[in-house]
Amino acid sequence: MNATVNANEARKIRLVMQLRQSGIQDIEILNAIERVPREHFIPEAMSDQAYEDIAVPIGLGQTISQPMVVASMIEALELTDRHKVLEVGTGTGYQACVLAKLARRVYTIERHRPLWGIAEANFKELQMRNITTLCGDGMKGWPKIHGIEQAPFDRIIVAAAAREKPPTLLLEQLNIGGIMIIPVGEAGSQMVKRYKREADDTYSIQDIMPVRFVPLLPDIARDKPTSEEKERVPA
């Protein structure tokens, strides 16, 4: 057991050094990645790949994104510990935990009920008390629950690709001065974009990096994924 822990620690340090050498300069993000046990969020049979800079399958046609993609997208958010963040696409909860080490509060939505359940269990086991989860339609943003409105958010990050532009309902949940990071485009030509809300109907847009993500889809997923949901290329 100790040998496994030591091996993971060595791989984790190597990954953090690799991310830094690849251009991730924010020390807080690197520290957060070092503090979140990525092996906890992937199938046990693939735990030896937890600290490789690759996407890892987690079932239902989904993956945990490549650490470099996670770090780059979070760096583009310009997070502080005062920010309230909305994440669309929880998966098993890895990115939400990294965000929770950096932000005041994280609200995260997952459309696949089995993954949502796994994420909930992971957050509880790791005692991540500043994360709130929901199984729902992330394209609609965070709904009013029991009459309580959490929107607008200081930051929004989306782990699936919008076809042409971010959903209007998501944009409307962004604070003035807030930042949304979201992949946009069809498979094979996707770009992570940074939207900053300058005024009610004014957004500045910046390209961050090319990526490959599952398409952003509406509604809660059915028990068996459709062919479109299986259109998963590692991100």
For the chain, what percentages of helix, strand and coil (3-state, to nearest 5) are there?
35, 30, 40
Alpha-carbon distance 70 to 43, whole Å?
19
* Strands annotated E in 54-199: 56-59, 62-64, 84-88, 105-110, 131-135, 153-158, 174-184, 190-199
Print the SS3 string covering 188-209.
CCEEEEEEEEEECCEEEEEEEE
- Marked catalytic residue, from 22, 65, 204, 227: 65
Whether 47 is catalytic: no
**DSSP state for residue 144 in the 8-state scheme:** P
Residues belonging to the active site: 65
